[in-house]
Amino acid sequence: MVRFFLLEPLNGSGRKGGIPMQPLLIAAQAAELLSGSPQGLLVHSRRVASLVAYILETAPNLANGYRQDEIILAALLHDLGKLHWPEEFFSKPRYLLSNSDFFLMESHPFSSANLARQIGAPESVATLIEQHHEKKGGGGYPRKLINPDPVALLIGTCDAYAACLEPRPYRPETLTHAQALKEARKVGCLTSAAILEVLPDRILTNSLKLGRL
């Protein structure tokens, strides 16, 4: 097996020792997988990763001991598990989905993390992915954690914000910046929500247009 070490590899845990891996190659592989999805997963994932990168640039302390590139990688890989969803999950209104459909949908943080591991992501990245739909106080899923990892909340905040700017089968109209912020604040990472609140016009305009962020 050929390994490339052109950049400093991430460690298995993000903070301790582990198997070396190459974040850029993992990101490239994820982009290749996501680009095969007709549901706009690549654009959504890139948008979430871009917002996360912007927040970390604005407030580096929010990295909380993680490397910035592993957090951005987790943001890029967070919805990989949706590649296994049946097409109807993307097209049916939510009221037509069964309880077992919802169970499968709400387990995508686990399947995303597993796919991320399969393409070489370290456990630190997989853990952040598993928690990207958790909310502070226990209102999220899949584990309903009371105190999720604050960095996972950062990713979840950007995910919630970005999702509001994209059409969904249960909500064909996109929401406004103010409405998206309201959803983003519910995740519980108030600092990152406050940074999104004052996004520069160039980023805000582009994200509302669903253009390049």
For Fe ion, the binding residues (CB under 5 A) are 79, 159
Shortest CB 163 distance to Fe ion, Å = 6
Q: Write down the least CB distance from residue 159 to Fe ion, Å.
A: 4
CB count, 10 Å around CB of 43?
A: 18
Please say which residue, 10 or 164, places its beta carbon nearer to Fe ion.
164
Which residue from 122, 116, 196 is spatially nearest to 156, judged by alpha carbons? 196
CA dist., res. 14 & res. 65, Å (int): 9
Q: Closest approach of Cβ 61 to Fe ion, in Å?
A: 24
Go through the chain and tell me how many residues it has: 213
Which letter does DSSP use for residue 40 in this model? S
Give 23 or 81: the residue with its C-beta nearer to Fe ion. 81
Nearer to Fe ion, 51 or 195 (CB): 51
- Least separation in angstroms between residue 71's CB and Fe ion is 15
- Provide the 10 A C-beta neighbour count for residue 29: 16
Cβ nearer to Fe ion, comparing 79 with 130: 79
Residues 83/34, Cβ–Cβ less than 8 Å: yes
The DSSP code for 11 is: P
